[in-house]
Structure 1
Amino acid sequence: MNLPLLSRAGRALLVLVMSMVGLLGLSPGAWATHIRAGDIQAVGDPSDPRKFSFKLVLYTDAGATADTPTADIFFDDGTRAEVPRRDKILLTGAASDSYQNTYYFEHTYNAPGTYKVSFIGENRKSNLVNIPNAVDQTFYIYTMVTVDPAIPFNHSPVLNNPALNKASRQQVFVHNPGASDFEQDSLSYELRPSQQASLEEAKANGNRPKPVDCRGFVYPNLAAGGSQVAYNGPPVGVLNAAPIYIQDRITGTVVWNSPETLGDYNVAFVVKEWRRTGSRVTLIGEVVRDMQITVRNANNLRPILTVPKDICVVAGQTVSKTITAIDPNGDPITLTAFGGILPPATFTITSATPAATRGLFRWTTTCANIAAQPYQVTFKAVDNPPPGNPTPTPLADELPWRIRVVGPAPQNVQVSQVGTTAVLNWDSYACQNPGARLRIYRKEGCSISPVDTCQTGIAANSGFVFVNDVAVGARTFTDDRNGLGLERGKTYSYRLYVQFALPAGGASLASREACLTLDGKAALFTNVTIDATGQTNGQVTVRWTRPTAGNNNQFNNPKGYNLFRSAVVTPPVFKRVRTTAFEFNDTTFVDRGRNTRDSAFVYKLEFFSNASNSPGSPVLTETSGPASSVRLQAVPDPANVRINLTWTYDVPWDNSTRPVAIFRRDGSGAFVQVGTASTTRTGGSFEDRGTTGAPLRIGGNYCYYVRTDGTYGSVDQHLINLSQEKCVQLVQVPCTPILTLKQVNCDSLQAKLFDLDPTPVGVTYANDLSWTLGSTPANCSNRITTYRLYARPNTRDTTAFTLLATVTGQRYTHVVRDAAIGAAYCYYVVAVDSAGATSARSNVACKDNCQLFLMPNIFTPNADGKNDKLRPKVASPIRRTKFQVFNRWGVKIYESDADPLINWDGGGPTGEGSKGVKVVEGVYYYTAEVEFADVAGTKKTFKGWVEITR
């Protein structure tokens, strides 16, 4: 590395400056910060997604002589600004020792992306308890914004509650930032160390700060000693346990239980803003608050707040709740509220006595307040103790209260039958929010669902299935079951709710159920049973019942059935089982010549009849099903000497009320029942180990089938259906290999970087792999004939493994000729035994590339074929290099990122080389921004000089 040295004149100037500092009696601490806390807020421009307005708020020590009339702001795009202060206000009450300083500024970005808008203040205060040598470290905060045409207008989270509470030894310290988000994006909270950044380095680095955690930072509970005290929480204090300093990731409340060492502490946290788009949740913003906590011997006890439990409220209703604060010392209390809904919500003090201070929170909600995320109001109680000796310190308690606003339920939902369809009607919905959709759900049967104000939408376990959605302004919908028609004789129940548009989102309560029972009875499948198992001679018997018209009506001729079959695939491909229709009284079909060994089959039935006896009458159709055969799978588990059975089906009747019977045949013997098992509406499982007297044996051949016993609800009804026969052999599986990949010591190579041989053009990389045969699973086979080795590049964009080689030994060297990938590969190996069985895959072994980079200090572009181009002397695999060259006056003469290995010939597209002219001999300075081809995509910047001779 080439380090710049001060010139003789520069060293003399530095000595002079330091001498003046000594003569004036100043120390570095004289520039220590008066900043107590700060954060930055951002608001997007609705007319330009690239433009933002910002507000920086700094809380400063009113007793300090230092001042911040301007703020150094960096926009993360290579620009900065010195922003003048707009306001400086002396706060009142318990915060009367602090100023609130406000700075406003705007910025327009040139391109989409995420940007961290940051502020660098002066050095921190000396003698911070949790940051040693803090006087040499600056105050740094940022706010992240996203420039995206898909997010045309966004507000960052706003931290409404100033961070000015004082702490007392052996009492709980609480702070909640009172954050709110205008769009009701989801907010989360996370503690992080206080950070610092060099102002001068940021300016020299193209106005891009390089923040790092403050050196020596520890969280207060680790720096101050002490123990927990009694606290109602959350979290509830554990008396005399180790102290804690935590932040609730949902509410943002910071709790320190409890301080011990007196003094000042600097801490920070980040508020993250998440935007939901469809099923994706994306981080679109961050706000960092850095704040000071001063711990004193308070000579005072903190007040105690009581707030209501979190609630849900229907839009249009008014929330009216009382908040109470008491002070153990009987001191007066200042009770305030913070949050994004204040106003229009109000909080007024209703009584203030030595016993308690009470306030009334009141908010009349509207349809515009409906949101998926709750609104949070933070209440703060600060006591005002009288003067004493020593003077008591005002202390605070803070608690969040969350209010979720949901949409009202759709009203007066009615349903009526028209043929085999259901026609739904309802009143015009009360909240016609743009983009909202009415969602319609249906289930079989009718019940009364309980109403819970916090339960919006339709619960997943309610039995209702989604039918369709319509615009929120719609008032009717016809359900024909996707063209299949509803089944006569069944009862259907409908419920509706409204889903509101993002980003706020949210949903309404569900409507009351509207029920309908259709006249008559549809044709019902009763059997899809396997009679014979085979590839070409399998057989399935399908049976169904005749439909009834209801109300003493008759079906009009012609009437009959069409039966359709599909293999069980997704999506099914149904074809008629025969070209002629079934007669009305013909309700059985034997499906011969099916491959029942390798496939299950599913059937659907279409009943047809004329709408009337008049000539030209339209034909009415009604579909029943689908109904599938029972599909049985058997998986041998030789490690545990058992066979695991699973079965699945998709049928309109219910198989779950009675157990499934399992039958087994050993070798060429007869089938016998070996057990029963419970099953669900879609399938079940069974583990067969044999019996104590006759356990299963390794090498044995076993065949199985299962028998289901279903019903449509009648106690006397038994719908018996058989699966196909499934045969397996309980054979040993090969033992699993254990893979080892020889690694490279990158640190060792970096230490001897200057002694390494030059990296040749067309370099290849070799990965040495070896493996041994393990002993798992139990009873595994070690009769291995070959090994299959699989590989993939070790990149952030994970690709699938592919077969690299099949070998008989237990070693392999993989030679990689792709310099863009290098040695960064992952591998696993599979063993294959003499019977062709394969093992489970071994452990995955991965290797990463090093990050080595060394440039020569001289090259000779004289066209002699030797050293004509400047390229790294030593280099690990590189994805991209941005290379810039400057002459001794700082003028850029060359820039390119086209070649990862640079290969500069002394000319270039800029500066002196703009017309391909070679630069003159001399010393030039370069910067190389290198992105290595390692898994992390590490980026490093290298600076140095190179001499050109010819």
Structure 2
Amino acid sequence: MQSRIFQALSLLLLLFIISVNQANATHVRAGEIIAIRDTTGGNSGTFRYRFIFTMYRDTCPTCVAAGPATLYFGYGSPPENSGSVEPNSPRVLIGNDTERVTYEFTHTYPAAGIYQVYVTVDNRNRDVLNMVNSVNTSFHVETTIFINQQVGINNTPILRIPPVDLARVGQRYVHNPDAFDIDGDSLSYRIVTPKQGFGLEVNGYRDPQLVQAGTNEAGTGPATFGITQKGDLIWDAPTRPGIYNVAFVVEEWRNGEKIGIVTRDMQIIVRDNINLRPLLEIPNDTCIVAGSPLPGFVRATDPDGNRIRLSASSGLFQSNFPAPRASFTVPAPIQNNPATGNFFWQTQCLHVREQPYQVVFRAEDLPTPDTSRKLVDIRTWQIRVVGPKPTGLTATAQGNSIGLSWDAYTCSNASQMVIWRRIGCGELPDDPCRTGVDPASGYVQIGTVPIGTTSFVDDNAGQGLQSGVSYSYVISASFAPPSGGESLASDAVCASLALDVPFITNVSVERTAPQGEIFIRWLQPRELDQAAFPGPYRYELYRATGLSGTDFSLVGSRTVTSFTAATVNDTTFRDSGLDTEVNAYNYMLLFYYQTSRLKDSSATASSVRLTVTPGVNVIDLSWQANVPWSNAGTTHKVYRESRTLPGVFELLADVAVSDAGSFRFSDTGNGLVLDEDSTYCYYVETYGSYGNPKILSPLINKSQIACAAPLDTLAPCPPLLAIDSLDCGSLTGESFCNVESFANKLTWSYPTAVGENCDEDIVAYRLYYKRYEEDTEFALIATINSPRPPAMFYEHSGLSSYAGCYYVTAVDEDGQESAPSNVVCKDNCPYYELPNVFTPNGDGKNELFTPFPCPRFVESVEVTVYNRWGRPMFETSNVLINWDGMIGSGEESGGSEVTNGVYYYLAKVRFARLRRSDELTQIKGWVQILR
């Protein structure tokens, strides 16, 4: 009886909903919401926005006229959080049996924040193939705005191309919304599922290529559907005629932070006819220097010889785009096959920005006599406008610094000039799309100055530049956000300081041992003004431990009388008794004139430190040195000890290095398999240069000798895992009363007959856990590494329930981990039982409708009690329900008591279970009230 009553009520309710929706059907095909920050008049300091909701509808003869729309502003409660308006203009017919209707709203937000603005409209048009019952499905779109004063004023992108288009079975379909962001923010795109309400995805939605299996246009694979980072939504290719709805979001980013999201829900009308789409030819994506003209030729051909309508869409054509705007001209609105058009844009400095501009070209054929068979091809052209190259850069040595100067920059709207430096002379490659400077070139940024400044002094942040080193400089201009952008880099200039101080050229490890030796060489000050700084001259050599140690101590000194061309010789020193196995060392020279008067110091220079890391059948080498010269852009040599002549090292490899990050090499055996039971020893020779033609190069220095053995390749076997069981049938209703924490006990064993393919030397076990059985990722929860050998049991305690799955692995002494063991899982024993009678008569006994004691593993409930006519009498989300027989909800009685009799309840109970699909249970039943 109860079931029949519920079924009848549900049927009546469904028929009522359908009749209401059909009566108010709005036959929506597509739409989106855009947001524009209103800074007019006195609104510049407020958070006032204009929202434009554009809706596209059927133009069927029976379609009702568009009525008012309500936009929800993303906070608060009605009516403050929403606004309703009539269409702000008459409908506009756009073809394809579609009309465009727009609504405009204004709203001032009370504070900064993230607001999800949305519109929900009843209903979509009928017969959408990738939805269930589309005519009774609401249409819903959202736009998210991020109001952040630190980000600045922001407008969402405008989608300039309508979202209703025609496609043909078997042919590749392309749509591009021509999203234009006036602020110059970066845009990205991704497919989403259409919605029928806030937080509600469309029922039964499928990606369009899944409605009916098919192949792509070329016939080389299955049909595909997706969107590119240019915003090209591509379906290659439709298989079944009909109408489809899809949705995607356009996300805008500024300085790496997401600042807005616009959702477009659009419709694709697929037909099966003999017409072939036209084919577009457009220019390649390009970069252009601001101030240069940009022409572009576009051509469209139709395989069927039909006439063609050729057009272009872009923010570059908008009236609010900074002049001069671009243009696209065609000989006639409709042309005979082939059709051509000419694009032209005279770029200016104010057009420079980080993100490329986009032009969407559209070719539409017009088959005769039935133009309804028309098809479209779309191609997207991206244009990046970069700042012109700065000119007139010069560099002049000034004591221990270098002065730079350059011409005033052409683009006054740039914000700053950026100065870049590298060691050694060299030009940058000429690339019209490479703005600023590529870090791989060896240049690093050393300073910025405001636009209008035409000079800069490089004194190495107050530390002074190094004598003898040649330095290259380039400059580039950058433009302020939000548009951002950079210029091309200038031509490089090169300069160096006078060689009037000594500088170190070699720090080479000559013997690797606890009592090892390092060889140091330095060049005397060849360009010293001996009249200003008379002799005798003295060198003091200092040493510190480590690549960058600062605790220097004196290790030797030397005195010379004077320098002449005949006596300028390299000076050397051998530093012995050093533990070169364990440590690197770095050195510094102090240079005195008149024996005791300090002239200057050299830069510090360290020995080369080699690190070897064993792997399976491989040994990885990496090395580094902190030196004033450059070891990059050269070829280093790797030596390995001979297997037949101990103590003799043979050249193993020449390693080309481009920067400090590429000082590495992997020895895989050079044609042989490295023996895991053997040790291999290496050293490296680095080749460097000051980049100064007055100093001979290369500067060759050796690392210490470092040794390693490859890792053992024999991994452990997987253990066998077990978990303590839970017998739900033996539990009573009051089991686990007042128990708040649970534990799972796990034990495992290791195979006793491991054979030849498993390592027996186990040093640890690793235990992994996942909460739900259907999850794919396990998390490491414990490493058991004691005693030795390690224990083979673990208690996973402090749990809120028993539910979960585990596996264990074994780890050997080389850190190799076995394959996972078998997976063991454990579920909870849920319990939630309701009585069928209670007596709320005030005698203190059985007064409340409440579950039997100790519900087990219940996370939440939603309970509704109905009378025999299906009217709700009581609602609550309290796990204990505690209904006292009064009409109301929650813990509050809202009115009079209900009469004695039978009442029906629906309890939606969410248990903590091993599988998510088992968590939600509906319990239907009845309860009798007796007083």
TM-score, normalization by structure 2: 0.77
Give the superposition deviation at 1:125. Answer: 3.2
56-65 or 298-307, which deviates more: 298-307
% identical equivalent positions = 27
- Which stretch of the first structure deviates more once superposed, 241-250 or 511-520? 241-250
1:529 counterpart SS class: strand
**How many angstroms apart in 2 are the aligned matches of 1:423 and 1:518?**
11
**Residue equivalent to 2:492:** 513
Tell me which residue corresponds to 1:574. 550
Letter in 1 for 2:606: S
Aligned residue pair count: 880
Q: Does 1:407 align with 2:387?
A: yes
Question: In the TM superposition, what is the alpha-carbon distance from 1:416 to its structure 2 partner?
Answer: 1.3
What does residue 456 of structure 1 align with? 435
Q: Name the residue aligned to 2:362.
A: 380
Is 1:541 aligned to residue 529 of structure 2? Answer: no
What does 1:818-857 correspond to in 2, within 5 Å?
A: 818-819=798-799, 829-831=809-811, 837-842=813-818
Asked whether the equivalents of residues 73 and 117 of structure 1 are also in contact (C-alpha less than 8 Å), the reply is yes
Deviation string, structure 1 residues 776-795 (Cα, Å, up to 9, x no partner): 999874244x5354679989
Change (3 A) 1:947 1:151: farther
Deviation at 1:406, TM superposition (A): 1.4
Q: Is the 8 A contact 1:300 1:329 kept in 2?
A: no
What is the distance in 2 between the residues matched to 1:503 and 1:933?
A: 49
Q: Secondary structure at the match of 1:38?
A: strand
Residue 260 of structure 1 deviates from its aligned partner by 5.0
| Cα pair 2:768 2:778 within 8 Å, conserved | no
Q: 1:805 to 1:109 in 2, by over 3 A?
A: farther
Structure 2 regions of 5+ residues with no counterpart?
Answer: 562-569
Name the structure 2 match of 1:664.
641
Map Cα deviations across residues 540-597 of structure 1 (whole Å, 9 max, x no partner): 332212121268977445754454434335xx23233219865458944443443322
Q: Quote the Cα distance in structure 1 between the aligned partners of 2:15 and 2:684.
A: 96
Matches within 5 A, 1:332-481: 333=309, 335-339=311-315, 342-343=318-319, 344=321, 345-352=325-332, 353-355=335-337, 357-384=339-366, 388=369, 390=370, 392-433=372-413, 436-481=415-460
Instruction: Give the AA of the match of 2:637.
Output: V
Cross-structure match for 2:654? 678
- Tell me, yes or no, if the aligned pair for 2:834 and 2:852 is still in contact at 8 Å: no
Q: Is the 8 A contact 1:410 1:427 kept in 2?
A: yes
1:527 alignment partner, SS class: strand
| Partner Cα distance (2:491, 2:15) in 1 | 84
SS of equivalent to 2:318: coil
AA matched with 2:53? L
5+ long unaligned stretches in structure 1: 198-208, 230-237
Contact 1:70 1:82 in 2 (8 A): no
**SS of the residue 1:135 aligns to:** helix
Aligned residue in 1 for 2:206:
217
| Contact 2:123–2:137, Cα closer than 8 Å, also in 1 | yes
When residues 862 and 601 of structure 1 are mapped into structure 2, their CA distance, relative to the original with a 3 A threshold, is: farther
Among 577, 582, 585, which residue is 1:598 paired with? 582
Q: Distance in 1 between matches of 2:366 and 2:670?
A: 79
Matched, 1:178 2:178: yes
CA distance in 2, matches of 1:275, 1:774: 60
Cα distance change, pair 265–288 in 1 and its aligned pair in 2 (3 A): same
Do the aligned partners of residues 718 and 105 (structure 1) sit closer, same or farther apart at CA in structure 2, a change above 3 Å counting? closer
Name the residue aligned to 1:203.
none
Distance in 1 of aligned mates of 2:113 and 2:904 = 34
Q: Tell me whether 1:621 sits opposite 2:597 in the alignment.
A: no
Q: Secondary structure at the match of 2:435?
A: coil
More moved, 811-820 vs 822-831 = 822-831
Q: Secondary structure at the match of 1:252?
A: coil
Greater mean alpha carbon deviation, residues 137-146 or residues 806-815: 806-815
2:760 corresponds to which of 762, 776, 782? 782
Q: Compare 47-56 and 887-896 and name the one that shifted more.
A: 887-896
CA 1:791–1:696 in 2, change beyond 3 Å: closer, same or farther? closer
Quote the Cα distance in structure 2 between the aligned partners of 1:941 and 1:840: 45
Structure 1 counterpart of 2:32, from 9, 29, 39: 39
Structural mapping, 1:203-242, within 5 Å: 209-215=198-204, 217-219=206-208, 221-223=209-211, 228-229=216-217, 238=218, 240-241=219-220
Distance 1:702 1:391, change over 3 A: closer
Question: Does the CA-based 8 Å contact 1:603-1:627 persist in structure 2?
Answer: yes
Question: SS where residue 268 of structure 2 aligns?
Answer: strand
How far off is 1:59 after superposition? 1.1
Q: Secondary structure of 2:655's partner? A: coil
* 2:565 aligned residue: none
Which of 278, 283, 288 aligns to 1:313? It is 288
Q: Is the 8 A contact 1:51 1:109 kept in 2?
A: yes
CA distance in 1, matches of 2:848, 2:784: 38
The one of 265, 279, 289 equivalent to 2:264 is 289
Deviation larger for 60-69 or 338-347: 338-347
Q: Cα–Cα, structure 1 residues 753 and 474, in superposed 2: closer, same or farther, change >3 Å?
A: farther
* Residues 321, 360 of structure 1: 8 Å contact kept: yes
Counterpart of 2:32, as a letter, is: D
Query: Which residue of 1 is the match for residue 69 of structure 2?
Result: 71
Corresponding position of 2:92 = 91
| CA–CA distance in structure 1, aligned partners of residues 516 and 240 of structure 2 | 83
Contact 1:157 / 1:181 at 8 angstroms: preserved in 2? yes
CA separation of 1:302 and 1:618: change in aligned 2, threshold 3 A: farther
- Comparing 507-516 with 809-818, greater Cα deviation is found at 809-818
1 CA distance for matches of 2:582 and 2:883? Answer: 66
Partners of 2:730 and 2:100 lie apart in 1 by 54
Q: TM-score, normalised by structure 1?
A: 0.76
* Contact persistence 2:165–2:267 (CA under 8 A): no
Question: What pairs up with 1:87-126 in 2 under 5 angstroms?
Answer: 87-91=88-92, 95=95, 97-107=97-107, 114-126=114-126
How has the CA–CA distance of structure 1 residues 288 and 726 changed in structure 2, closer, same or farther, with 3 Å as cutoff?
closer
RMSD value, Cα:
5.6
Secondary structure of the 2:135 match is helix
Rounded to whole Å, the distance in 1 between the matches of 2:755 and 2:234 is 49
Q: CA deviation at 1:257?
A: 4.2
Hey, what's the Cα distance between the residues in 2 that align with 1:374 and 1:872? 67
Give 1:759-778 correspondences, 5 Å limit.
Answer: 760-768=738-746, 770=748, 772=750
The CA distance in 1 between the partners of 2:220 and 2:709, in whole Å, is: 59
Cα deviation code 1:410-457 (max 9, x no counterpart):
2322221111211112233344448x3422111234344453321111
Deviation at 1:182, TM superposition (A): 2.6
Instruction: Letter of the 1:223 partner, please give it.
Output: V
Looking at structure 2, the residues matched to 424 and 643 of structure 1 have their Cα atoms a distance apart, in angstroms, of: 47
1:731-880 → structure 2 map (5 Å cutoff): 735-738=715-718, 758=736, 760-768=738-746, 770=748, 772=750, 781-784=759-762, 786-789=763-766, 803-804=783-784, 806-807=786-787, 812-819=792-799, 829-831=809-811, 837-842=813-818, 873-874=854-855
Cα distance in 2 for partners of 1:525, 1:949 equals 102
Q: Secondary structure at the match of 2:122?
A: strand
- Conserved? CA contact 2:358–2:381, under 8 Å: yes
| Alpha-carbon distance between aligned partners in 2 of 1:882 and 1:439, rounded to the nearest angstrom | 62
Cα distance between partner residues in 2 of 1:132 and 1:883 = 28
Counterpart of 1:70, as a letter, is P
Cα 1:325–1:224, aligned 2, differ >3 Å: closer, same or farther?
same
TM-aligned CA distance change 1:431 to 1:508, over 3 Å: same
CA distance in 1, matches of 2:666, 2:354: 43
Q: Offset at 1:159?
A: 0.9
Letter in structure 1 aligned against 2:200: P
